[in-house]
Structure 1
Amino acid sequence: MSASAAKVSKKELNSNYDGADETSEKEQQEAIEHIDEVQNEIDRLNEQASEEILKVEQKYNKLRQPFFQKRSELIAKIPNFWVTTFVNHPQVSALLGEEDEEALHYLTRVEVTEFEDIKSGYRIDFYFDENPYFENKVLSKEFHLNESGDPSSKSTEIKWKSGKDLTKRSSQTQNKAGKKRQHEEPESFFTWFTDHSDAGADELGEVIKDDIWPNPLQYYLDRKMVQFTHLSRTCLVPDMDDEEAEGEDDDDEEGLEDIDEEGDEDDGEEDEDDGDDGEDDEGEDD
């Protein structure tokens, strides 16, 4: 093959290769544009689904209200229901000091209300009997989302009785005790009502709304089930324990009898030995 023919062949190959690249890039670009169109359709459906899901949630939220009301009426018949529920909940109990628990013994009702459009926020109401700590009958905390989606919160100002402000007492206790005690006594549960620093990451509010409020009975029953199980075992096991105890006593008595019998046998053997020794001594004397 001549040098000129070789050059022509090489040019043809390069031009074919470049043409393949151009075709491939064009196809990729078209595919990307189509993917973008399909993705827009998916996003549109997601938005539509969110709107429909919101309508369903609003519908069923209204349907649940009479049942929540009925449940609250029944809970009111059970002393210390809510304080027991909070103490049994692993996340909430970590926030409770001893005096917080004492104050929560006066808590008679908890209600969570999602605002009508649901997306804009919710409110938690705590109802208290007359108590030695504060004047309020109801303590509330609300969480809001404004039109731009920024979270905020506000709450009832607690009207503490003289010398009963648990939030200040907790702070003073920690300051006096120093660093060694800080990890032992948590901040007062009631500081939650005054903390609005990060409404978008309010874990306690979310726990109460999404975990405790839907089914508080499961946490109330945690301790009750343990007590019930303990009582059941106490009722069922005593006969077995008595039998075992009687068996042990019998064994002890048998063991003592065996020892006595062995002791008698040993005494007999010793007596025989003494007799033999006596005979030998007599023989020697003769």
Structure 2
Amino acid sequence: MAENNQSADAISNMEAGPAGDSMEDVEDEEVGVQERVIDDKVNLVLQNPQVLASLQHQLDSLVGQQSGYIESLPKVVKRRIKALKKLQLNHTKLEAKFYEEVHQLECKYAKLYEGLYEKRKDVVTAQIEPTDSDCEWESSEDEEEEEEDNKLAVSEPQGSVNELKEKAQLEDKEEENPPGIPEFWLTILKNVDLLADMVQEHDEPILKNLRDVKVKYCENPTMGFTLEFYFDENEYFTNQVLKKHYTMKCEPDESDPFSYEGPEIFSSVGCSIDWKKGKNVTVRLVKKKQKHKGKGTTRVVTKTEQNDSFFNFFNPPAVPEEGAEVDEETESLLSADFEIGHFFKERVVPRAVLYFTGEAIEDDFEEEGEDDDNEEEEDEDGDYDPAKDTKPSECKQQ
């Protein structure tokens, strides 16, 4: 028995490692080392920008991948789908005609709006003083004033109330009475985040002279619109009107007709600003030292660089020719420019007073919130495969 025990101990010692570990522990340790080596190699590969870019491209290509249900359908069913696509194409063509007529309707009503916009401009610029009937508008401020008067009537004798009212009226008469509505358009630009980012501190003294913004529609065959910014005489430039034209296209893209969502802006053209000497806020003078290569002497030269300014809006980047490659920065600038032009046309000009008071900004914020909620509810899967739908149908009793 003793010999047997010694034999078993010898076998056990043979299976143990140098530190007395079992064979299983040694194997686990070797696997761990191998895993760490693999991890190190993977991390090293992932540090390569080219590898990362390739991986990102492959991942992007997987977004929105279909489940394969459509490809698995019989040929006769695919043939019917082609018929539906042709119907869809005809629908898109009709939709384009619809938007053409909508544009004609916009042109018609733009002429009807002109009288209202002209009167708005006259009030803002103090050309006319609104009559009492023009100012008949119930607001929350009026309600607050009425509540305050009622409180005074309850807490004070009638004589005291009358005295207080007379005093308030006297103070109103002594109040400063500026002409029109000061800084109307500047306030609007600063109220809207999309536009406020464009306005620099050195732009504000100029924009205080902005007295009106108009939209002029272009009728067929060329669809588009022009934004017109009217300025009072000022010390910065001689232009009375700064214009920017946006050209739109209504036809679906022949190469991708099903992406059509209505008319879209595809180019814009600004105007030249006749700056007075030393008043151009779109450029800045920068002094730089230059060293002569041969002589080793240095001199100071003055160069002009582009400066951030609202008035760069009138000098948009040129739209590349069809088929030409567009760099990411130019594409981003064009996209932002088109968005701003559309925003002026659709929101700012028609609802100017509400952007001045801030009421329209609250409405825009609520609409954006609703859109975000809808986006979260959208299904991110590709095509629906009925064969994979295992959820039982629900029955609702009336």
Match of 2:232 among 100, 123, 129: 129
Residues 188 and 172 (structure 1 numbering): CA distance in 2 closer, same or farther, change over 3 Å?
farther
CA distance in 2, matches of 1:121, 1:140: 13
Residues 50 and 57 (structure 1 numbering): CA distance in 2 closer, same or farther, change over 3 Å?
same
- 2:355 is aligned with what amino acid? Y
CA deviation profile, 1:118-147 (whole Å, cap 9, x unmatched): 962111111111211111121111122479
CA deviation profile, 1:81-100 (whole Å, cap 9, x unmatched): 11111111212111111110
Match of 1:114 among 207, 213, 217: 217
The 10-residue stretch of structure 1 (108-117 or 93-102) with the greater mean CA deviation from structure 2: 108-117
Residues 192 and 29 (structure 1 numbering): CA distance in 2 closer, same or farther, change over 3 Å?
closer
- 1:151 is aligned with what amino acid? F
Residue correspondence of structure 1 range 16-27 to structure 2 within 5 A: 25=74, 27=76
Partner in structure 1 of residue 122 of structure 2: 73
Residues 38 and 63 (structure 1 numbering): CA distance in 2 closer, same or farther, change over 3 Å?
same
Report if the CA contact (8 A) 1:167-1:191 is conserved: yes
| Structure 2 SS opposite 1:166 | coil
Report whether the alignment pairs 1:213 with 2:346. no
Q: Is there any run of 5+ residues in structure 1 with no aligned partner, and where?
A: 1-23, 176-185, 224-286
Report if the CA contact (8 A) 1:152-1:196 is conserved: no
Match of 1:165 among 275, 280, 291: 280
CA distance in 2, matches of 1:220, 1:29: 55
Report if the CA contact (8 A) 1:135-1:159 is conserved: yes
RMSD: 3.4
Partner in structure 1 of residue 194 of structure 2: 91
Report the CA distance between 1:101 and its aligned residue. 0.5
**TM-score normalised by length of structure 2:** 0.41
Report whether the alignment pairs 1:57 with 2:57. no
CA distance in 2, matches of 1:63, 1:96: 32
Q: Is there any run of 5+ residues in structure 2 with no aligned partner, and where?
A: 1-72, 127-180, 252-263, 289-306, 320-332, 360-398
Partner in structure 2 of residue 192 of structure 1: 313
| Structure 2 SS opposite 1:158 | coil
| Identical columns (%) | 31
How many equivalent residue pairs?
Answer: 189
- 1:39 is aligned with what amino acid? Q
CA distance in 1, matches of 2:348, 2:221: 18
Partner in structure 2 of residue 235 of structure 1: none
Report if the CA contact (8 A) 2:107-2:217 is conserved: no
Residues 219 and 46 (structure 1 numbering): CA distance in 2 closer, same or farther, change over 3 Å?
closer
Report the CA distance between 1:74 and its aligned residue. 2.3
- 1:114 is aligned with what amino acid? Y
Report whether the alignment pairs 1:42 with 2:178. no
- 1:61 is aligned with what amino acid? A
Report the CA distance between 1:44 and its aligned residue. 4.8
Partner in structure 1 of residue 302 of structure 2: none
Partner in structure 2 of residue 11 of structure 1: none
Report if the CA contact (8 A) 1:58-1:117 is conserved: no
CA distance in 2, matches of 1:113, 1:166: 27
- 1:161 is aligned with what amino acid? K
CA distance in 2, matches of 1:88, 1:206: 17
The 10-residue stretch of structure 1 (204-213 or 102-111) with the greater mean CA deviation from structure 2: 204-213
CA distance in 2, matches of 1:82, 1:150: 24
CA distance in 2, matches of 1:93, 1:150: 22
CA distance in 1, matches of 2:265, 2:211: 33
CA distance in 1, matches of 2:78, 2:241: 63
Partner in structure 1 of residue 177 of structure 2: none
CA deviation profile, 1:139-185 (whole Å, cap 9, x unmatched): 1111224799983333331111111110113x749x9xxxxxxxxxx
| Structure 2 SS opposite 1:142 | strand
Higher relative contact order (CA 8 A, sep 6+): 2
Report if the CA contact (8 A) 2:183-2:208 is conserved: yes
- 2:209 is aligned with what amino acid? Y
Residues 116 and 65 (structure 1 numbering): CA distance in 2 closer, same or farther, change over 3 Å?
farther
Task: Compare CA radii of gyration and give the structure with the larger one.
Answer: 1
Residue correspondence of structure 1 range 196-275 to structure 2 within 5 A: 196-198=317-319, 201=335, 202=337, 203-222=339-358
- 2:312 is aligned with what amino acid? T
